[in-house]
């Protein structure tokens, strides 16, 4: 009797061990499968979010666009470059170029048509061009821009000044600024405008904070 009871106890213990081992193996397999699925889904979500939210434009591409633009003798600078990707070899770009303010509409038309198509055929880039005017015959504007550059140079967060233009008749001055992401841009803007107003009380200043879309 005792021997039979011992045998049955051993058999029960073995079955429990086997059952526990099988459950453990199945659990590990399911856990591994779950982790794999989560990883795939996470990667898919990340890719989808990149496609929806966008990623920073490729520096090689943006550098190539800017280099092509500034080859034109009339172009004094290229700014605000934004590149949207809509699939392989399908890119829509927009940019502002700074041009002398004594150019005629006809001259600007021919230039923008030329730079919109030149150098981009076959690259899949469709380029839209906007214009900044640059003062050409104003010593006052030159001196004011140099003073502005000195003021903005006091701020390590200040990355770029562009689009500066002085309207001498109305004493209206506009310019764009790019600051480091994450800094208190509104506070820096107000400090710069305050300094300009103290130096030039008869002028109205319009400082636009630009986003840094590309390197």
Examine the domain organization and report whether 201 and 145 are in the same domain: yes
Examine the domain organization and report whether 29 and 50 are in the same domain: yes
Examine the domain organization and report whether 51 and 2 are in the same domain: yes
pLDDT, tens only, 30-67: 665 555 555 554 454 444 444 544 455 677 878 888 88
35 is a domain residue: yes
Examine the domain organization and report whether 104 and 149 are in the same domain: no
pLDDT, tens only, 62-77: 888 888 888 899 999 9
105 is a domain residue: yes
Examine the domain organization and report whether 65 and 126 are in the same domain: yes
Q: Which two tokens stand for residue 2?
A: 């005792």
Examine the domain organization and report whether 14 and 66 are in the same domain: no
Query: Does residue 120 register a pLDDT over 90?
Result: no
- Single out the residue in 133, 155, 179 at which a domain terminates: 133
DSSP symbol at 58: P
Total domain count for the chain? Answer: 3
Q: Write down the mean pLDDT value for the chain.
A: 79
Examine the domain organization and report whether 25 and 79 are in the same domain: no
Examine the domain organization and report whether 149 and 123 are in the same domain: no
92 is a domain residue: yes
Percent of the chain with pLDDT over 70: 67
Residue 106 sits in a domain whose CATH number is 3.30.70.1350
111 is a domain residue: yes
Examine the domain organization and report whether 107 and 120 are in the same domain: yes
Adjacent-strand bridge partners of 210: 178
215 is a domain residue: no
What is the 3 state secondary structure string of 89-151?
Answer: CCEEEEEEEEEECCCCHHHHHHHHHHHHHCCCCCCCEEEEEEEEEECCCCHHHHHHHHHHHHH
Examine the domain organization and report whether 122 and 172 are in the same domain: no
CA trace torsion 66, 69, 74, 80 (10° rounding): -50
Report the length, in residues, of the chain: 215
- pLDDT of amino acid 134: 94
Range of the domain at 98: 59-133
Examine the domain organization and report whether 193 and 163 are in the same domain: yes
- pLDDT of amino acid 119: 55
Examine the domain organization and report whether 124 and 149 are in the same domain: no
153 is a domain residue: yes
Residue identified by tokens 């502005």 is 148
Query: Does residue 182 register a pLDDT over 90?
Result: no
């Amino acid at each position: 009797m005792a021997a039979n009871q011992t045998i049955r106890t051993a058999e029960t213990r073995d079955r429990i061990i086997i059952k526990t081992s099988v459950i453990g193996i199945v659990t590990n397999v399911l856990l591994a499968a779950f982790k794999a699925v989560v990883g795939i889904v996470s990667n898919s979500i990340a890719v989808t979010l990149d496609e929806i939210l966008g990623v920073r434009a490729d520096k090689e591409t943006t550098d190539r666009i800017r280099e092509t633009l500034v080859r034109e003798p009339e172009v004094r600078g290229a700014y605000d470059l934004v590149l949207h990707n809509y699939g392989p070899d399908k890119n829509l770009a927009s940019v502002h170029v700074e041009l002398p303010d004594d150019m005629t509409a006809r001259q600007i038309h021919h230039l923008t048509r030329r730079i919109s198509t030149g150098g981009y055929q076959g690259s899949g880039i469709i380029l839209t061009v906007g214009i900044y005017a640059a003062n050409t015959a104003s010593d006052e504007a030159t001196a004011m821009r140099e003073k502005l550059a000195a003021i903005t140079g006091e701020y390590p967060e200040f990355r770029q000044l562009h689009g500066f233009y002085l309207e001498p008749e109305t004493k209206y001055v506009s310019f764009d600024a790019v600051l480091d992401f994450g800094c208190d841009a509104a506070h820096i803007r107000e400090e710069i405008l305050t300094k300009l107003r103290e130096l030039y009380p008869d002028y109205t200043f319009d400082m636009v904070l630009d986003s840094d879309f590309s390197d």
